[in-house]
A and B are shown apart, each in its own frame.
Chain A
Amino acid sequence: MDKKTNFTFFKDRSAVASFTLLAIVLLILFPLALDSFRLNMLAKYLSLAFVAVGLVLCWGYGGILSLGQGVFWGLGGYCMAAFLKLEAAKNIAAEAGTDQIKALTTVGLPDFMDWNQVTELPYIWYPFKSFPLTLICMLVVPGLLAYIISIAIFKRRVNGVYFAIITQVLCWIMEILFVTRQGWTGGINGITDLRTCLGWDLRTDSAHTILYFITVVLLLGGILVSKRILHSKMGQILVAIRDMEDRVRFSGYDVSNFKTFIFCFAAIISAVGGAMFTLNVGFMSPKLVTIAPSIYMVIFCAVGGRRSLVGAVYGTLIVSFGRTYFSEQFPELWMFIMGGVFILTTVVCSDGLAGLIEQYGGTVGSKCMKWTGMDKRSCPMQGKFKAGKELS
Chain B
Amino acid sequence: MFSDYTGDELQSIFIMQGFAGLSQFSVFLLMALGLAIIFGQMKVINMAHGEFLTAGAYTTVLMSDLVNTYCPAMRPYYFFFAIVMAFIVAFILGYIVEYLLVRHLYNRALDTLLATWGVSMIMQQGFRLIFGGREDSAELPEWLMGSWAPTDSIDIPINGLFLLGTAIVMTLIICLLMYRSRWGLCVRATVQNRTMANAVGINTKNVDRMTFALGCGIAGIAGAAFTTIGSVSPAAGSLYIVDTFIVVVFGGAGSLLGTIISAFGIAQAQSILEFFLSGVLAKVWVLTTVVIILMLRPQGLISNKVRK
Which residues in A have some Cβ–Cβ distance to B below 8 Å? 65, 67, 152-153, 156-158, 160-162, 164-166, 168-170, 172-173, 176-177, 179-180, 291, 295, 298-299, 302, 332, 335-336, 338-343, 345-347, 350, 387-388, 390, 392
Chain B residue numbers with a CB within 8 Å of A152 are 295
Majority SS of interface residues in chain B?
A: helix
Name the one of A156, A173, A299 contacting B296, with C-beta atoms under 8 angstroms: A156
Q: Are A165 and B114 in contact (CB under 8 A)?
A: no
Chain A residue numbers with a CB within 8 Å of B287 are 169, 172-173
> Which one of A168, A291, A339 has the highest number of Cβ atoms from chain B below 10 Å of its Cβ?
A339
Q: Do A166 and B291 contact each other (CB < 8 Å), given the known contacts A156-B296, A161-B109, A335-B125?
A: yes
Per-residue CB contact flags for chain B residues 269-308 toward chain A (1 = under 8 Å, else 0) read: 0000000001011011001101100111010000000000
Q: Give 5 A-B pairs besides A170-B291, A347-B105 with Cβ atoms closer than 8 angstroms.
A: A158-B294, A158-B295, A161-B45, A169-B246, A335-B122
Name the one of B108, B117, B121 contacting A388, with C-beta atoms under 8 angstroms: B108
Q: Give 10 nearest A-B pairs by CB, closest first.
A: A342-B118, A335-B125, A339-B121, A339-B122, A339-B118, A343-B118, A346-B115, A158-B298, A392-B110, A152-B295
Name the one of A153, A164, A340, A347 contacting B110, with C-beta atoms under 8 angstroms: A164
- B11 to chain A minimum Cβ distance, whole angstroms, is 29
- A344 to chain B minimum Cβ distance, whole angstroms, is 8
Which residues in B have some Cβ–Cβ distance to A below 8 Å? 43, 45, 101, 104-105, 107-115, 117-122, 124-125, 128-129, 242, 245-246, 249, 278, 280-281, 283-284, 287-288, 290-291, 294-296, 298
- A295 to chain B minimum Cβ distance, whole angstroms, is 6
Identity of the chain B residue whose Cβ is nearest the Cβ of A347 in the assembled complex: B104
Q: Are B294 and A162 in contact (CB under 8 A)?
A: yes
Chain A residue numbers with a CB within 8 Å of B117 are 295, 342
Q: Are A343 and B296 in contact (CB under 8 A)?
A: no
Please measure, in the bound complex, the distance between the C-alpha atom of A169 and the C-alpha atom of B124, giving whole angstroms: 22
Q: Are A299 and B114 in contact (CB under 8 A)?
A: yes
Name the one of A157, A180, A390, A392 contacting B281, with C-beta atoms under 8 angstroms: A180
A-B contact pairs, 29 of them (CB 8 A): A65-B110, A152-B295, A153-B295, A157-B298, A164-B113, A165-B249, A166-B291, A169-B242, A169-B290, A298-B114, A302-B114, A336-B121, A338-B118, A338-B121, A339-B118, A339-B119, A339-B122, A339-B125, A340-B122, A342-B114, A342-B115, A342-B121, A343-B101, A346-B115, A347-B105, A347-B111, A350-B111, A392-B108, A392-B111
Please measure, in the bound complex, the distance between the C-alpha atom of A387 and the C-alpha atom of B290, giving whole angstroms: 32
Please measure, in the bound complex, the distance between the C-alpha atom of A172 and the C-alpha atom of B245, giving whole angstroms: 13
Q: Are A347 and B122 in contact (CB under 8 A)?
A: no
Chain B residue numbers with a CB within 8 Å of A170 are 291
Q: Are B291 and A347 in contact (CB under 8 A)?
A: no
Please measure, in the bound complex, the distance between the C-alpha atom of A390 and the C-alpha atom of B106, giving whole angstroms: 11
Chain A residue numbers with a CB within 8 Å of B113 are 65, 67, 161, 164
Q: Are B242 and A335 in contact (CB under 8 A)?
A: no
Q: Do A156 and B110 contact each other (CB < 8 Å), given the known contacts A342-B115, A347-B105?
A: no
> Which one of B110, B283, B294 has the highest number of Cβ atoms from chain A below 10 Å of its Cβ?
B110
Identity of the chain B residue whose Cβ is nearest the Cβ of A170 in the assembled complex: B291
> Which one of B104, B113, B125, B242 has the highest number of Cβ atoms from chain A below 10 Å of its Cβ?
B113
